[in-house]
Each structure stands twice: as C-alpha cells, then as structure tokens.
Homo-oligomer: A and B are copies of this chain.
Amino acid sequence: MINSKPYVIGIDMGGTNTVFGVVDARGVVLASNSIKTRKHSKIEDYIDELYTETLRLMKQLDVEDKIYGIGVGAPNANYFTGMIEDGVNLPWPTPVPFARMLSDKFGIPVAITNDANAAAIGEMTYGAARGIKDFIMITLGTGVGSGIVINGQMVYGHDGFAGELGHVIVKRNNGRLCGCGRTGCLETYCSATGVARTAREFLELSEEPSLLREIPVDEITSKDVYDAAMKGDVIANRIFEYTGNILGEALADFTAFSSPEAFVLFGGLAKSGELLLRPLRESMEKNMLSIYKNKVRVLPSELKEADAAILGASALGWEAKPATITMAAPASAAPAAPLA
C-alpha cells in the first residue's frame, strides 16, 4: 500500500495559521502552504479553502491519487471521535465532526488528534524519538502540552483526552491562576507565557539591575529573557533556573508514572539549550526516585521547526483509516506503525 499511495498530507491547525503540506514516507515535506484559520466564520468555507489550496499542492506534485491519508493536529481534537471538541480560539461553533467533514470533502481517510500528540507521533516517526518505544513529549509554547507514548503506542486514554501534563498542579498553595480556571498548573510556570510571568514577578520582588528593566514590564517575552540571560543578566539567568527547577520536579514525578526512556522537549522554550536544560536535568535527577536516577534522557526535538507542525500531523496520516471516521468508541484503537 505504501507503494501505490506513498504520500500523506499533514495539516496543523493553529490559532492563527493553518499550515499543511504533502509529505513522503521518509518525512520529507515536498510542498507546503498555509491559510488563515480564523478568516471564515463558517467551517464549511474554511474547509473549502483548505481543500482548494491542498489540491493545488497535490496537482503541482502530481500526487492527487497517491495520498494514503490525512493527519490533522488541532486544539482539543479527539482521536477517537474525530471531533474538535472545544475550540477556544476558533471562529466556528464546536464541537464539530472535523475528521468526517474533511474526509467527505477530500475523499481520503482522515485521522485527527491534538497538536501535542501530533508532535509526539512526528518525533517518534521522524525525529528525536525514532526507535524509542517509551517517551513523553513536552511542548513548551504559549501553553505546555504533552503527548505520551508507551510501548510504541500513543496514549489517548479512555476518552481521547489523555496527556494534559501542562495542567498537573505543581504549586498546591498560592499557585498562579491558569487559563483552565484552576491555580498552580505546570503551564503557568513553564510555558513561554509562564517565563514572562516569572520575569515580571522577579523584577517586582527586587531592585537588582537587569537588562529586562529596559523593556516595559508587560511586554517582556520569554525571548527577551533568553536574550538577557545569554548576555549574562543575573535576573534572567535566575528565571531560567527557576523554570528549569519546576519543570525538573514535574518530570521526576511524570517518570514515576510511565518510566519513559526519554522526555522530548519541543517549542520555543526548548530551544533555550543549556540555559533551561542544565537546571532542568539537575532538578529532575535530584527529585527522582532512586530506581529512576540517571536513566531518563531529556532530548530536544529533532524536527526542523519550519516543518515540525506539518510533519507531526502528517505522521498521523499513516494511521488514518476509513473506520476511524465514524468510530465513536475507543475499542482497540491501537495505532499501527507507518513504516515497516
């Protein structure tokens, strides 16, 4: 089947842009493009534009009848039901049966999951987690997402919502308010936004000089903190210590769950290199139960950033089956490995 239909389409629906591309079995993005996610108030119009633009790519490559499946990474997308359950940033009403609608339009099987799970599948298929059967993907972006792989299989949970590790509580008392309505979630500390919040806190709590004081306090980004830290700024370095320490404590706890061989870090903050990784690894090892110590690797993503979103989603395209589209219950939905 790989011979007759050797390509997949990957679609990553972000809050602003929807990027999509045609990918071959080796993970090469042959062509890609993007449309605005929020341009249309009706989902049908959004799907029409997505279809037109994707068809253009397929024609350009002459692969219209060689597409094995379509994989989609989208916020709150449910692998089991094919629904986008809750689209906080989307202009159309949700829940919506996105996999079925897309499949009807394209005449190609579609599988969908949330963006962090798509990233994990991409990393397993093409990136840092190739050959690793037990790992946890942590995406450090505006929020903190996660995708958990156990024994080579994506963990979806009984309802398709497993792996919300950004919403594990890391500060039980006096924790920061999270977008989810609770307080103390990991993502309020270890996302890009969390780092910016830490910067504001640290700058208020001391009078120490810092390059960050040159920026209006409400406009400081995690990138600003990174730049200052690289210039030797003491407060900026302390912010990375603080962030790495909390993330390390959390990863030590996560290890007690599935004893993964590795954590794979993805997203803007993950590119901070040793600034984040050194305090993170120190804290993780210090907080680890002894049987896990010095066994678990922390790896940065190996997916090229420009292609990562498309690649992650596209890898799921190899799992797309006509059955997935109408299947409502979990049953034995074990993903198959795409490449023999």
Contact = CB atoms under 8 A, between A and B. Distances in A.
Interface of A: 85-86, 132-134, 148, 150-153, 155-165, 167-172, 180-182, 249, 252-254, 256-261, 287, 289-292, 295, 330, 332-334
A163 B289 CA distance: 12
A289 B150 contact: no
Given A155-B258, A171-B172, A172-B249, 5 more contacts: A148-B258, A157-B258, A158-B259, A165-B256, A257-B258
B289 A180 contact: yes
A256 B184 CA distance: 14
Given A153-B151, A172-B172, A290 B257 contact: no
A41 to B, nearest CB: 26
Contacts of A171: 172
A148 B180 CA distance: 26
Contacts of A182: 287, 289
A278 to B, nearest CB: 21
A-B complex: 9 closest residue pairs judged by Cβ atoms: A157-B259, A162-B259, A158-B261, A134-B158, A164-B256, A167-B289, A161-B259, A168-B253, A162-B258
Contacts of A152: 332
A257 B332 contact: no
Given A168-B256, A249-B172, A330-B133, A150 B155 contact: yes
Identical copies of this chain, number: 2
Nearest to A166: B256
Contact of A133 (B151, B158, B164, B181): B158
B158 A257 contact: no
Contacts of A261: 158-159
Contacts of A330: 133-134, 151
Nearest to A170: B172
Contacts of A290: 180-181
B158 A332 contact: no
A151 B332 contact: yes
Given A164-B256, A259-B162, A249 B169 contact: yes
A213 B261 CA distance: 49
B289 A164 contact: yes
A169 B257 contact: no
B133 A167 contact: no
A116 to B, nearest CB: 12
A168 B169 CA distance: 12
